[in-house]
Amino acid sequence: MHLNHKRTLLVILIVFVACTMLFAQPVGETKKPKRVGIISAMDTEIELLLSEAEIERVDEIGGLNFNVGKLCGDDVVIVKAGIGKVYACAGAAAMFNNYDIDYVIFTGVAGGVGDDTHVLDMVIATDLVSHDYGTITDEGFYWRDEYSEDTKGRIYCDPNLVDVAVLSAKQVLGESRVFTGTIVTGDQFISSSKYVKQLQEQFNALACEMEGASVAAICRMYNIPCVVIRTMSDKADGVARETYEFMMDVAADNSCHVVMKMLEYI
């Protein structure tokens, strides 16, 4: 073979190998689209999201409907898990055992606990506490650290998701209506100014609800980043039930709008 032909073939071979190494996807490292799990307690808290989503199918698992599809261009699984800590845990675990979830957003309404938070303000949890976990004695109820000494009973949300939630909420609701801090969870609808004061003093809480800490605990077990966002439907005081029933739908929709804005950044 002529020397020039050999050189030409060698150059072609080198280019071919270089291109193969540059563009070939390593085995086992195929990039997959991210999938966001969206969890709520009640139908009204995801109604707007479902109306805006392109739902491909609905899977019934354990009596829950998992809505699989796309929202704002992202792959999502949306579920109403139910009210209270038990249903929240069951819904989150069922989601993680059946779908490949990258991030979790818990969305919904809550009672305002902080002095500076008002109805229709949003609280984005930096951390969560189960306020009703403890021991009842003849002297009363004593809360105790539920998880570990180093976290003092607190479960922390993913800081990157918190930042995205704050950015999105400020764009949707306005900067003055967005707060970050501790959200407390318990299996009670709080309608007591006295108990609100206790939650402030003991936990420095800004909001109270019935699911967030449980979902965050399951996310931690599965090592899935999560954030809990809550729009205040009431002030958890003596007229909380009346305020909640009047403002619940508006508050729930506000949280949904923030979720959709978040999906633009995640």
Query: pLDDT digit of tens for each residue in the chain (266 aa)?
Result: 554 544 544 444 443 444 444 334 444 445 567 999 999 999 999 999 999 999 999 999 999 999 999 999 999 999 999 999 999 999 999 999 999 999 999 999 999 898 899 999 999 999 999 998 878 888 878 777 655 555 567 999 999 999 999 999 999 999 999 999 999 999 998 888 888 899 999 999 999 999 999 999 999 999 999 999 999 998 766 655 667 676 889 999 999 999 999 999 98
pTM for the model: 0.84
* Burial state string for 132-168 with b = 16 or more CB within 10 A and e = fewer than 16: bbeeeeeeeeebeebbeeeeebbbebbeebbebbbbb
Is residue 102 flagged as an active site residue?
Answer: no
Which residue of the set 74, 75, 127, 234 is catalytic? 234
Catalytic hit among 43, 45, 74, 264: 45
- Which CATH number is correct for 31-263, 3.40.640.10, 3.40.50.300, 3.10.105.10, 3.40.50.1580? 3.40.50.1580
Cα 200 from Cα 72, distance rounded (Å): 37
Structure tokens at 14: 């080198």
- CB contact at 8 A, 231 and 255: yes
Is there a catalytic annotation at residue 45? yes
